Amino acid sequence: MNSRSFSLDFDPAPLLACIDSVQASRIVRAAVDLGVFFEFAKKPGTAEEVAAALGVSLRGTRALLDSLTALQLLGKEKGVYSLLPIAEALLVPGSPDYLGDLVHGSVLDQEWDHIVEAVRKGGLATAAEPGERQKRAEEFFPQLIRFLHVANRRPAIAAAKALGAGTTHRGMRVLDIACGSGVWSLAVAYADRDARITAVDFPGVLEHTRRYGERHGLADQYEYLPGDIQEVDFPENRFDLAILGHILHGEGEGKSRKLLRRLAKALRRGGRIAILEFLPNRERTGPPEAVLFGMRMFLNTEEGGVYSAEEYAEWLAYVGFTKTELVDIGYHSPLLIASRAEE
Ligand SMILES: C[S@@+](CC[C@H](N)C(=O)[O-])C[C@H]1O[C@@H](n2cnc3c(N)ncnc32)[C@H](O)[C@@H]1O
């Protein structure tokens, strides 16, 4: 017989959370597939009414609707369920910020199924000719920027405030590098009617940027510079602010440093660089979102990775931006503002 023992000398929660983590996404995916949010967009209803409308079981509908309520996507009062604003904006098909198709498994997540192979081989991303890189980007990024336009919108408002848009820094000339939807510069344009934005991205993505600008009534503050950020000519000595929102992680150290050197020339006296990035600590032991994002970069890119605030500060100092300030904008990606010390 074994000796008497029953203790567990550690907290199993970190692993249990990993094992359980699939639940929420599968519940939301099922609700999207069954048309639950579309049904509630017509009117609130009881489980009985929704089950009848969707032609599915009452027991399953109750479990699903209660789960969605616990996940804070539906409200429930006296047995009647209704969409909360988050579900109305993000999960009803046809909404401008619809993300339901992404919950359903998207191009953004395909690489995770090949993680074992990637770790064995040292990566999955294959080198691409410049034209091919642009083609891949123009296919992949329109979907990602739809997600980022929602995820980054509130942090962008906080960042624009921290950058003094419309207050201490009126009428800034802003270069939004690899702008995607333009979410970070749109917040600056919204805060300051006199701000002027030059948006840089691949031409096929800039078509989307233009539409976001129009949607928010801010398009008249924009001009566009299409091309590869590593090759396009930036006008020299022209800008007050260069925004690098979630781009350096994909470029990796060598290309990021090269880009920063070119941006330093594009900025005029007093100009600043704003970096929005996942920032792991230097040992890369946390925060978890930042470190795990490094795994995503390993899977999706040839050279990308995550870098600490100290590493970015070193790269920035090398191109003359020796003053750096880290601002908490209530997000997994803080705002790093860099300027030249003498200014
Ligand atoms: C992760 S998204 C970030 C978008 C936006 N800055 C944000 O934070 O929401 C990366 C963007 O960089 C663009 N991009 C990536 N590599 C690029 C390159 N070499 N030249 C131009 N744009 C590029 C993509 O098209 C995409 O819009």
Identify the weakest region by mean pLDDT among 118-127, 157-166, 176-185, 248-257.
118-127
CB under 8 Å, gap of 24 or more: what pairs does 313-318 form? 313/338, 315/253, 315/256, 315/257, 315/260, 316/260, 316/273, 318/257, 318/260, 318/261
- Is any atom of ligand 1 closer than 6 Å to the C-beta of 247? yes
**Torsion over CA: 191, 195, 201, 204 (sign):** positive
Statement: residue 212 has pLDDT above 90: yes
Statement: residue 143 has pLDDT above 60: yes
**Structural contact between residues 208 and 145, judged by C-beta atoms closer than 8 angstroms:** yes
**Torsion over CA: 23, 24, 29, 34 (sign):** positive
Q: Give residue 107's pLDDT band: very low, low, confident or very high (50, 70, 90).
A: low
Domain 13-105 bears CATH identifier 1.10.10.10: yes
Residues 6+ apart with CB under 8 A from 190: 157, 160, 216, 218
- pLDDT on residue 229: 97
Average confidence (pLDDT) over 301-327: 97
Average confidence (pLDDT) over 47-66: 98
Neighbours of 303 (CB within 10 A): 15
Residue spans of the domains in the chain: they are 13-105, 124-339
Give the CA distances from residue 11 to residues 15, 285, 288, in Å, rounded to whole numbers and listed in that order.
Answer: 9, 19, 18
Cα 136 to ligand 1 centroid, rounded to whole Å = 12
Residue nearest to atom 15 of ligand 1 (CA): 178
Residue nearest to atom 26 of ligand 1 (CA): 180
Name the percent of the chain lying above pLDDT 70: 98
Cα 63 to ligand 1 centroid, rounded to whole Å = 40
Helices 248-266, 309-318: axis angle to 10 degrees equals 30
Average confidence (pLDDT) over 261-290: 97
Q: Give residue 105's pLDDT band: very low, low, confident or very high (50, 70, 90).
A: low
Cα 178 to ligand 1 centroid, rounded to whole Å = 4
- Is any atom of ligand 1 closer than 6 Å to the C-beta of 243? no
- pLDDT on residue 125: 73
- pLDDT on residue 341: 80
Domain 124-339 bears CATH identifier 3.40.50.300: no
Same fold, 13-105 and 124-339: no
Q: Cα–Cα distance between 243 and 195 in angstroms, integer?
A: 13
Structure tokens at 276: 């929005």
Mean pLDDT in the chain?
A: 95
- Is any atom of ligand 1 closer than 6 Å to the C-beta of 178? yes
- Is any atom of ligand 1 closer than 6 Å to the C-beta of 180? yes
Q: Cα–Cα distance between 314 and 311 in angstroms, integer?
A: 5
What is the 3 state secondary structure string of the chain? CCCCCCCCCCCCHHHHHHHHCHHHHHHHHHHHHHCHHHHHHHCCECHHHHHHHHCCCHHHHHHHHHHHHHCCCEEEECCEEEECHHHHHHCCCCCCCCCHHHHCCCCCCHHHHHHHHHHHHCCCCCCCCHHHHHHHHHHHHHHHHHHHHHHCHHHHHHHHHHCCECCCECCCEEEEECCCCCHHHHHHHHHCCCCEEEEEECHHHHHHHHHHHHHCCCHHHEEEEECCCCCCCCCCCCEEEEEEECCHHHHHHHHHHHHHHHHHHHEEEEEEEEEECCCCCCCCCCCHHHHHHHHHHHHHCCCCCCCCHHHHHHHHHHCCCCEEEEECCCCCCCEEEEECCCC
Residue nearest to atom 8 of ligand 1 (CA): 245
DSSP lists the bridge partners of residue 245 as 276
Cα 181 to ligand 1 centroid, rounded to whole Å = 9
Identify the weakest region by mean pLDDT among 27-36, 118-127, 234-243, 278-287.
118-127
Cα 144 to ligand 1 centroid, rounded to whole Å = 10
Statement: residue 106 has pLDDT above 70: no
Tell which wins on pLDDT, 203 or 112: 203
Average confidence (pLDDT) over 26-37: 96
Average confidence (pLDDT) over 121-137: 82
Cα 252 to ligand 1 centroid, rounded to whole Å = 13
Name the percent of the chain lying above pLDDT 90: 88
Q: Give residue 115's pLDDT band: very low, low, confident or very high (50, 70, 90).
A: very high
- pLDDT on residue 233: 97
Q: Which of 20-29, 36-45, 292-301 has the highest mean pLDDT?
A: 36-45
Q: Give residue 343's pLDDT band: very low, low, confident or very high (50, 70, 90).
A: low
Statement: residue 255 has pLDDT above 90: yes
- Is any atom of ligand 1 closer than 6 Å to the C-beta of 228? yes
